[in-house]
Structure 1
Amino acid sequence: MSTAALDAIRWTADGLVPVIAQEAGSGRVLMFAWMNREALARTVATGEAVYWSRSRGRLWHKGEESGHVQKVRDLRLDCDADVLLLEVEQVGGIACHTGRHHCFFQALDANGDWTAVEAVLKRPDEIYRS
């Protein structure tokens, strides 16, 4: 990835850019994450999503523990140059660490509470063996 392409992005003060991972074919939003310059460069070089994990304080190759990698099919920068959109093939069909297909599984119900409306496809203890 060229330096000019990296410089075209409007990075946050922390050197990050928000990233939306969208499923190729269905168009469903799978998850939201962050990238720094190195994560984006590695994503482009490997063809698999690499994010910056704020909680871990390090690069995070999506699926490094679970095997549920994201193969990048297309990469887009929005009109303000401050959000990336990754169109991905989600290997294993599970993008969320909760074992669901995507991370947006909670819906606001009629009582004003968040309710899980998507099934767990695989229990996290079956995915992540410590």
Structure 2
Amino acid sequence: MTDEPRPQGMPPAGPPPQWTGQPQPWPVQPNAQQYPGYSPYPPALPAPANGVWLGVLSLVLGVLGCVVPLLPIDLSGVRAYLALPFGLAGLACGLVGVIGRRTGKPVSGVGIGVSAIALVLGVIMLGNQVAG
């Protein structure tokens, strides 16, 4: 064997120490100076994406899809079509808000329901316009 210097923190070369009957101190935990990037704790899980706004947007679009076609203003020719874009956009935002690790899933679920009601309202209004 060569007498090369050993890295800091390594035990001296040779046979392992024998038990002498005396208590030995606990091994020292490695610190950041000895081992950069070392942590005795497991890595934390990433925080969920902020999906509250997708749920809120879905809910707002669904409510607009239910309310705008029923407003007492002159919407000749387009009234039957107004609920469909709001309902589809709200449904898409609600589905994206429910999928994955996100917060605000209940709001997204309510937004999906209201957007579905807006789509049904739009289909009924469109059917009445075609039949009438």
TM range (shorter): under 0.3
More helix by share: 2
More strand by share: 1
- The one of the two structures with greater contact order (alpha-carbon pairs below 8 A, sep at least 6) is 2
> Normalization by structure 1: what TM-score?
0.21
